[in-house]
Structure 1
Amino acid sequence: MALAVSQEILDALTDVAMPRLAPEPEAVEHVTLGGFTIPVRRAGAVVVGSGAAGLRAAVEMKRRGVDVAILSQSAWGGTSACSGSDKQTLHTANTKDRGDDFLAMAAAIGAGGAMDEDTAYIEAVGSIRAMASLQYLGLPLPQDDLGGTLRYQTDHDEVGRATSCGPRTSRLMVKVLAEEALRLGIPFFNQTTAVKIVKEDGRVAGVLAIRPRDAGAANPYGLALFPCASLVLAAGGPGELYRDSVFPNGCFGSLGLALEAGLALTNITESQFGIGTRREGFPWNLSGTYVQVIPHIYSVDAEGREHHFLADYYRTTQEMASNIFRKGYQWPFHASRMLDFQSSLVDLAIFREGQKGRRVFMDFNRNPLPIDEPFSLDRLDADVAGYLRSAGADHALPIDRLRHMNPLAIELYKRYKIDITRDPLEFAVNNQHMNGGIEVDIWGRTNVPGIYAVGEAAGTHGATRPGGSALNAGQVFGTRVAEHVAARGGAAPGALAEGSAEEALGEVLRVLAPEGGGLSWKDIRAEVQARMSDKAGILCTAEEVSGALAEAKALNGAIRDRGIALSRPSEAARVLQWQQMALASEAVLAALDHYIAQGGGSRGARAICDPEGESLPQSVRGPLADVRFRAEREEDKQSQLIVRFEGGGMVISARPNRRHDGAKSFFERDWPAWLTGRIYDHGAPSP
């Protein structure tokens, strides 16, 4: 029997309308730089990005009296507003059926390694405040009749700390935060692409952007200058880095922008890959109940023949079906889960079908085809059978189990003209999240004074992370950044550093070449995305990564020598984004090459395939020798790789994870540090 939820309720949780933006304030000041007349809009702080993390930072700064403005390439067009999974999650500090403590939660957040212990603790402690403030703003997190928040298990979290409003949780977060930002009167500059950070005397002085609405005869590229005392980078992850990606189109992030400004990056070898629908249609992660209802998964070759390819990997129908189910809460690929016939063998099998040129589908109107015995809900592993029994999902077909367990999953695809009650759903293994990013301290500060980073732009997530904890991290650190900016005098509008702004503009103009005089940005896109998907996806070898790095260096050298061609002035922002994405690609490959060359092993993002590797996945047909891989080394969990762009190349170093000693606070001893603001001096990063 399906859940008794009305269509009106389903529509409200699926069709989340975003608020209309207020009119932008007109520029009252202009400056002439490099022969261009450029509008100037001063602010105490500028937030680049309009997702959940950036909006939280802006709202909290405005509440504290900071003069803040938001720049967005496309309002409500980023990952947190447009992408997600069956059950987007927000972490709480409680469990579904018993108490929890912050140290235990911090340990779970940082369990994958390569994560600062103080950051994990901050995210655990701050989760209560983050959830409560979102509820205050109207986020409809589900509760039981006694007021307890409903929770469930998710990736890399065996306790069950996650909760959800359904597939649009992160969009609902953006909505309530955007409504608050508009209520507070925060200026919002849409269709505005940040292209160069302006620095003066080693600290931030502003950001140079491109805005089509500012274009004119004296300003053909639509340049705009935003002087500021504080800059918050919150533009998300580098979704355009991969061809096979579940990011919405146009998600470039800010890694290249950060590298050019001298910011240090950390953990950029670490991403998440998993099954999802392709970005050419409606990009969405296929986690949660999409796979927990155990649909039939098959591939189709060029001649239209179906292949029951999972039967080439698993030994029994029960083993195959149970591991399809486990993808619901073991969604990301993890190298170790290819062993012992576990759930990432599903990812490997799908990935290899794609390499053969076959298209892969899941069919919710068919149960899995048999390997030995016919599929039966009575023949499943105990954990799987127990879950479905508790959910009351004893229906004959996957589509009926899905209607019962999560009707929103069906409604979501219907909004994009995909009816999974009737048609099979095509999907693949895609890049989904950058766990690394810009290195920050306990207040979200980077190594350049005045610049902060939050959300997926910040490298605070370690090698692996519990599903949904990135949403929590963005809320927690968005608030902490605001507290630090307000406490350290970031409220006043920034001064205009004309000399530094003109120098930054000159660097921008050197990339832009007339048509026919430089590289094609479309060719750069094709080259970068193919190289990253084919050579730096879930399976890597030392030789392929080293060769890919050499190609990336050559591409960036050609860009510096020749520039990128402009066919028309309106392409300037896209040209600069692809120049920066090519730089980010080199940084990722440089870090990955260094990691592999130093003997680094396989973990969440990738399997480092090596004929001498200790780990050999098996299939029902025998050993999978071509994916033999190195095991992760315990010592690699204790440190992070740092990347900086210096002298035209990438410089790689390592640092140990910051520790949290667990020392207890003491009121009378520690209260003065709060009263005097000394707490904001702690943890400053190295310049």
Structure 2
Amino acid sequence: MPRSSGREPRRNIITVAGLDLPVYSFNTVVVGTGCAGYNAADTLFSLGREDVAMVTEGVNMGTSRNTGSDKQTYYKLTLSGSEPDSVRSMAETLFSGGSMHGDIALVEAAMSARGFFKLVSLGVPFPHNGFGEYVGYKTDHDPRQRATSCGPLTSRLMTEHLQKSVEQKGIPVFDGFRVVAILTEGEPKRAVGLVALDTSSFDETTFGLTVFNCTNIVYAVGGPSGIYRSSVYPGSQTCATGIALEAGARGINLTESQYGIASTKFRWNLSGTYQQVIPTYISTDRDGGGAREFLGDYFETPGDMMNATFLKGYQWPFDPRKLHKGGSSIVDMAVFTETRVKGRRVFLDFRVNPAEGGDEKGLRIGLLNDVTREYLEKSHALLDTPLNRLLKMNPLAYRLYLDNGIDLKNERLEIDVCAQHNNGGLAGNLWWESNLKHFFPVGEVNGTFGVYRPGGSALNSTQTGSTRAAQFIAARYGEEPLDIGSLAKAAEPAMEKVIGLAKTFRENAGRAGASEPLALRERFQRRMDACGAMIRPAGTVRKAIGECRRDLESLASETGAGDARQMAAAFINRDILLTQLAYLSAIDEYIRKGGKSRGSYLICGEEGLAADADVCAAGGVPVELDEGAFSDRVCETALDAGTMQCSFEWKPVRPIPSNYDDWFENVYNAYVRGEIVK
């Protein structure tokens, strides 16, 4: 039963492989309780589709509730000032990032104000001035001041206010259910249900397996966080992309993820003010000894180092275009070299200025360029230490770490270059429906964006995509789910696979030679860090694909799971491997096609990258850039669940629509006739 308030769900029993399993039936099941999932459920209910439920591994576990930055950004249409803006102009900005469909960009732009003002009406405290204008600022890849924020916890506040609205509507939430399979039928395939592991009802007979029978699935499970070890995603969020690919949903732009500097003890993005105050970068040995400043080694002058650190604030994701002499991504490369190549640990120290660029009195202002100096001057932040500059410009950024057990006044902050966001993901159409019919990936799991995107556009996309999915379901997919007999027939193949795996995992518990799932996971994640993250050596990628297939084949025999926690972890490992296989295969496909460095990753030779401090300081990292060669195409990936082989289809990007009818009377009449949603 759902562990929250809500209406009594329809409950039956289904018998599969000799096991009697509970079945809950709804028109729509929303998987995930972040700001995309909650908005989907809330909007469906408001549109009159009240037969909806939510299923989540843990209400408090997702990225929306547990991540942010110095001032986490929401990107939307300009709503203040005299600077001109338009829906089409915003769409052009999104589209210009490359490998993004123009009609999707137009929807993201057109829906941005609607999503934003719904959040405002729910109480999310976005700031406005005395005239009611919602003021903004420029973010990365943004030519206008479209960005806004309500502080470091913007997405958490969004989630909490949307959750309150869902709870007020009495929508049932099944909390503690890990989804392990998607049920399909027919040709072309359509989604008809889910299999989940109820971690509160684990026993040796049914393992807590539960079936959800539904007409529609809104899949709001977040990005593929579990495939990486060095990650700023919350540890509580793992991965659920693999079972969607296994069920037949196609991936898009799986090559395109973002990486950036983040803290590791408490996982948090270190963009914005954390860099603009110009902290000191410290490297130590693995035991914390041998501390030394190192960032200056990678720049020709102290001024170059300080200005690049400042720029890292709003040029935050790693970008191979910024690996030129003095470029801000040299900072990422320096941290990567210290941690991954030299095996050292790296920290930020906010208590002291970089030795070559300042002293106890403050920064050497003469070393700063005009952009850096003027920004700090206008912020009244030309103070003596990075910490005091931080407290002046953004006291909430300091408070955030203090609230999580780290006092920047008394200790250094350990960091690394970490996976941060996936611009690709599962493919969807204009209404966010997958090629797998009745299946709607929304939020980060949907591959909305291409190579580059403005900061904060992902939060807008959570609201846009979930609203579009809800609109389509409400207008077109209101029928009842399958009868129990038909569901049993459709579910049998997938259920037999899941039950067989669960039995094997359980039988292996305690057996010599079998490993606990988390011990295996670290090995899987290190592989992705080594070849599928910021640095991608061509030969290592191809080798890793074979390793991934072998791990999938041996997973059942190698894994032991004696309780609910381990059983869920074992199925998560399987999803991680399925996801890695698809992502690595897409990366290999891109490299084989002649793809070069772009976005937030660097393609290098067979063995890896040799860019030491002397090379960086002398002239920047040598890199072959894509230069837009693939920007007019997207790559769709299909995973064959039988052979565990991937196939690819390169498609031209769809342009931003221009010759469509926007005459009011015609649109009004089409809307009244119900012809818009189709």
One fold, TM greater than 0.5? yes
TM-score (normalised: structure 2): 0.92
Shift of the 488–23 alpha-carbon distance from structure 1 to 2, 3 Å rule, reads: closer
Q: CA deviation at 1:426?
A: 1.1
Aligned to 2:430: 442
Q: 1:155 aligns with which of 93, 117, 140?
A: 140
Cα shift readout 1:508-544 (whole Å, capped 9, x = no counterpart) = 1233312148675334312210100112221112111
Amino acid at match of 1:179: K
Give the SS at the match of 2:323.
helix
Mapped pair 1:55 → 2:43 = no
Shift in Å, 1:319: 1.6
Return the alpha-carbon distance in structure 1 between the equivalents of residues 329 and 309 of structure 2. 9
| Alpha-carbon distance, 1:629 to partner | 2.5
User: Residue 390 of structure 1 aligns with which residue?
Assistant: 378
Partner of 2:27: 44
Does 2:460 match 1:475?
no
Q: Partners of 1:544 and 1:676 in 2: how far apart?
A: 56
SS in 2 for 1:402: helix
Between the aligned partners of 1:592 and 1:71, the Cα distance in structure 2 is 32
**Aligned runs of 1:479-628 on 2, under 5 Å?**
479-490=467-478, 492-496=480-484, 497-512=487-502, 513=504, 514-515=507-508, 516=511, 521-559=517-555, 562=557, 564-568=559-563, 571-610=566-605, 619=615, 621-622=617-618, 628=622
Q: Distance in 2 between matches of 1:384 and 1:95?
A: 27
- 1:87 — aligned with what? 71
CA distances 1:302-348 after superposition (whole Å, capped 9, x unpaired): 47122221111112222211111111111100011111321000000
Residue aligning to 1:5: none
CA deviation vs aligned residue, 1:44-85 (integer Å, no higher than 9, x gap): 100000000111111000111211100010102110101111
1:247 to 233, 238, 242: 233
Compared CA separation, residues 523 and 423, structure 1 to 2 (3 A)? closer
Distance 1:450 1:166, change over 3 A: same
State the alpha-carbon separation in 2 of the partners of residues 310 and 260 from structure 1: 44
| 2:653 is the counterpart of 1:666 | no
Aligned-pair distance for 1:393?
Answer: 1.4
2:48 to 55, 65, 70: 65
Match of 1:381 among 362, 369, 383: 369
Deviation at 1:620, TM superposition (A): 6.1
Structure 2 partner of 1:640: 634
1:652 paired with 2:652, answer: no
* Counterpart pick for 1:277 among 263, 269, 282: 263
**CA separation of 1:558/1:611 partners in 2, compared to 1, >3 Å: closer, same or farther?**
closer
Hey, what does 2:247 align to over in structure 1?
A: 261
C-alpha deviations, 1:590-644, integer Å up to 9, x for none? 000110111101112211124999x9998465356xx533211423011111111
In structure 2, which of residues 398, 406, 409 is the aligned counterpart of residue 410 of structure 1?
398
Who is 1:684 aligned against?
none
Q: Distance in 1 between matches of 2:58 and 2:150?
A: 24
Structure 1 residue 90 displacement after superposition: 0.8
1:534-590 Cα shifts (integer Å, max 9, x gaps): 122211121111111221122223337x47433345532221111111011011110
SS at structure 2 position matched to 1:603: coil
Matching of residues 218-233 of structure 1 within 5 Å: 219=206, 221-233=207-219
Secondary structure of the equivalent of 2:533?
coil
**What is the identity, as a one-letter code, of the residue corresponding to 1:251?**
Q
Query: Distance in 2 between the 1:430 and 1:471 partners?
Result: 20
Matches of 1:51 and 1:139, distance apart in 2? 15
Q: Distance in 1 between matches of 2:190 and 2:416?
A: 43
SS of the residue 2:338 aligns to: helix
1:267 and 1:503, CA in 2 relative to 1: closer, same or farther beyond 3 A? same
| Residues 1:204 and 2:191 are matched in the alignment | yes
- Contact kept? 1:46, 1:69, Cα under 8 Å: yes
The amino acid across from 1:360 in the alignment is V
Number of the residue aligned with 1:298: 282
Letter of the structure 2 residue corresponding to residue 552 of structure 1 = C
Find the partner of 1:213 among 183, 200, 206. Answer: 200
Say whether the 8 Å CA contact 1:616–1:629 is kept in structure 2.
no
Question: Contact 1:96 / 1:152 at 8 angstroms: preserved in 2?
Answer: no
Equivalent position of 2:337 in the other structure = 352
Between 23-32 and 222-231, the greater mean CA deviation after superposition: 23-32
2-structure distance, mates of 1:568, 1:216: 8
Secondary structure (helix, strand or coil) at the match of 2:61 reads: coil
SS in 1 for 2:231: coil
Q: Which sits farther off after the overlay, 78-87 or 489-498?
A: 489-498
Distance apart, 1:500 and its partner CA: 1.5
CA distance in 1, matches of 2:274, 2:142: 19
Q: Which amino acid aligns with 1:61?
A: L
| Closer, same or farther: CA 289–64 of 1 in aligned 2, 3 Å | same
Alpha carbons of 1:371 and 1:294: their partners in 2 closer, same or farther (altered >3 Å)? closer
Aligned to 1:328: 313
Alpha-carbon separation, structure 2, partners of 1:236 and 1:358:
31
Deviations 1:400-456 (A, max 9, x none): 111111110111111111001221111111011111110000100000111111000
Hey, what does 1:113 align to over in structure 2?
98
Q: CA RMSD in A?
A: 2.4
Q: Give the 3-state SS of the residue equivalent to 1:622 in structure 2.
A: helix
How far apart are residue 95 of structure 1 and its match? 6.7
Relative to 1, partners in 2 of residues 1:372 and 1:316: Cα closer, same or farther, differing over 3 Å? farther
Matched residue SS, 1:196: strand
Query: TM-score under structure 1 normalisation?
Result: 0.91
Verify the 8 A CA contact 1:44 1:494 in the aligned structure 2: no
| 1:364 match | 350
* 1:317/1:372 contact within 8 Å kept: no
Shift, 1:672, TM fit:
3.7
Decide which of 648, 666, 678 is 2:675's aligned counterpart: 678
- C-alpha separation between the residues in 1 aligned to 2:358 and 2:321? 26
Q: CA 1:605 to 1:24, structure 2 compared with 1: closer, same or farther past 3 Å?
A: farther
Q: Which amino acid aligns with 2:294?
A: F
Shift of 1:677: 2.8
- Contact 2:538-2:606 at 8 Å conserved across structures: no
State the one-letter code of the partner of 2:29.
V
Counterpart Cα distance in 2 of 1:559 and 1:427: 32
Identity of aligned residues (%): 36
**Shift of the alpha carbon at 1:368?**
1.6
In the alignment, residue 328 of structure 1 is paired with which amino acid?
G
Mapped pair 1:76 → 2:64: no
| Aligned amino acid, residue 668 of structure 1 | E
Following superposition, the deviation at residue 170 of structure 1 comes to 0.4
Q: Which amino acid in the other structure matches residue 383 of structure 2? A: H
Q: Would the alpha carbon gap of residues 641 and 492 (structure 1) be closer, same or farther in structure 2, given more than 3 Å must change?
A: same
2:259 match: secondary structure: strand
Equivalent of 2:450, from 451, 462, 466?
A: 462
Task: Assess if the C-alpha contact under 8 Å between 1:233 and 1:254 holds in 2.
Answer: no
Counterpart secondary structure, 2:98:
coil
Which runs of 5 or more structure 2 residues have no equivalent in the other structure? none
Q: CA deviation at 1:212?
A: 2.2
